[in-house]
Structure 1
Amino acid sequence: MPARLRPAPAAEVASALAASPRSEEQTRLLVKHFLAVLGTRAPGRSVEVRVPPYAAVQAIEGVRHTRGTPPAVVETDAATWIGLATGALAWAVAEAEGLVRASGERADLTAYLPLVDAP
């Protein structure tokens, strides 16, 4: 996994999650952190999860592709991705409200979310 998509130190994640409002740097840290966690927990290359302009990760086992766009793509904004990753926002709600665009087989991330461990 590229260095830019390694999980962040727990103290930095906790501090960024607690911040209100969040700075651009804290938002970037959380987006990249949760994309890295998804990539670690669900390794693969069949779904590309994009959170522009911050980062993207390919994850989830399935059809392997070698060039171009993967068979499934999920794209959302930073606030939505952080909400999904922390469990503050349900996948079904995000889809129904048009906050996430998901296309292709395996593009439903419900089974992989939230990405934070339960207390």
Structure 2
Amino acid sequence: MAVILERDLERGRIAFQQWHTAAQQSLQTAAAITINPTLPRSTWAMAVRYSLFLLERRAPGPGVEVRVAPWGAVKILDGPESDPHNLTPPDVIELEPDVWLRLACGITTWNQEKDAGHISAVGERDDLSDLLPLTR
């Protein structure tokens, strides 16, 4: 199932840009690792979905599942697929929406968020730093 509908791609692109702009403005008064812009929930949802869509296009494959609850999950990178009995791939990365969007926009780095304990990752391919930020 697609993380975002084709008809919502433009809305998602705009939401992602709005989040990025709000986060950049917040950098003037807050540390990067704490950036959490005050935007409507629908903007957050579309920004997450659109950014996961970009990630999926950048690194297609069935090997790693990236989950950003409650708004989306994608499978990326080559590698072993899901176990047919439980449908969970061997590598799973879980992130909160604010953490994911900071990474996707290049506000913070993978190592900063990992060191702060904001990333839950299981498996051999638990580092997405080569794929981020999505804004480059």
Give TM-score, length-normalised by structure 1: 0.87
Does residue 82 of structure 1 match 2:101?
yes
1:15 maps to which residue? Answer: 18
Amino acid at match of 2:40: S
> What is the total number of aligned residue pairs between the two structures?
117
Tell me, in whole angstroms, the C-alpha distance in 2 between the residues paired with 1:5 and 1:75. 22
Residue identity opposite 1:79 in structure 2: D
Change in 2 beyond 3 A, CA 1:45/1:13: same
TM-score (norm 2): 0.77
Larger Rg: 2
Alpha-carbon distance in structure 2 between the residues aligned to 1:69 and 1:106:
14
SS at match of 1:94: helix
Percent sequence identity over aligned pairs: 33
Unaligned stretches of 5+ residues in structure 2: 23-36
Q: CA RMSD in A?
A: 1.9
In 2, Cα distance between the equivalents of 1:53 and 1:11?
20
Which residue in 2 is equivalent to 1:38?
A: 55
Residue 111 (structure 1) aligns with:
130
Q: Does 1:98 align with 2:121?
A: no
For structure 1, which segment, 58-67 or 30-39, has the greater mean C-alpha deviation from structure 2 after superposition?
Answer: 58-67
Choose 66-75 or 50-59, whichever is displaced more. 66-75
